[in-house]
């Protein structure tokens, strides 16, 4: 435990304090009162689907939240599977987004863009992937963008 604490740059006294704080604030998973550190490297994401090729200017059709520590949660329809995929892939999300190899889609240009923004394991994440058309999105490889 001591070596893990050192690895995270936290003293064991600070960890003990954080553990007590977590007990005192049972309803705020992932959050800690102002001024204290969390026991977990924070992970909190917003995933969205936008019509068009540009996530900044297109119409946002759907957006969900995903939290992976201490337990999977959020408004994503399958947070446990999505968190497992993220842990397996790190921040390289193309294999999760791209249409499955066996997907059968027409090839017209009617783009849909998915994004993931927020914090993953303490680091900022900003990702986007544009599908040629909605069929590609329906056949996305992972569950992460299947909402």
Shortest reach from residue 84's CB to a second copy, in Å: 18
The count of other CB atoms within 10 Å of the CB of residue 104 is 8
Tokens of 93: 């999300």
* Token pair 């190899």: residue: 101
Name residues contacting a second copy, limited to 16-75 (CB under 8 A).
25, 27-35, 37-38, 41-46, 48, 55-56, 59-67, 73-75
Measure the CA dihedral 131/82/34/20, to 10°.
Answer: -170
Shortest reach from residue 101's CB to a second copy, in Å: 18
Binding flag, residue 142, a second copy (CB under 8 A): no
130 contacts 53 by C-beta, under 8 angstroms? yes
Binding flag, residue 100, a second copy (CB under 8 A): no
CB-neighbour burial class of residue 78 (10 A; exposed 0-12, middle 13-18, buried 19+): middle
Binding flag, residue 103, a second copy (CB under 8 A): no
Nearer to a second copy, 16 or 61 (CB): 61
Contacts to a second copy by CB under 8 A: 25, 27-35, 37-38, 41-46, 48, 55-56, 59-67, 73-77, 117-119, 122-124, 134, 137-138, 140, 146-147
């Amino acid at each position: 435990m001591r070596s893990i604490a050192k690895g995270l740059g936290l003293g064991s006294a600070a960890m003990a304090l954080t553990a007590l704080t977590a007990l005192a604030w049972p309803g705020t998973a992932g959050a800690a009162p102002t001024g204290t550190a969390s026991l977990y490297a924070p992970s909190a994401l917003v995933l969205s689907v936008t019509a068009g090729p540009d996530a900044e200017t297109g119409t946002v059709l759907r957006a969900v939240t995903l939290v992976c520590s201490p337990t999977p949660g959020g408004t994503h329809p399958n947070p446990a599977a999505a968190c497992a995929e993220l842990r397996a892939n790190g921040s390289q999300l193309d294999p999760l987004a791209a249409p499955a190899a066996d997907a059968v889609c027409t090839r017209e240009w009617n783009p849909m863009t998915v994004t993931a923004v927020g914090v993953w394991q303490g680091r900022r994440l900003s990702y986007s992937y544009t599908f040629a058309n909605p069929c590609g999105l329906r056949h996305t490889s992972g569950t992460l963008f299947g909402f």
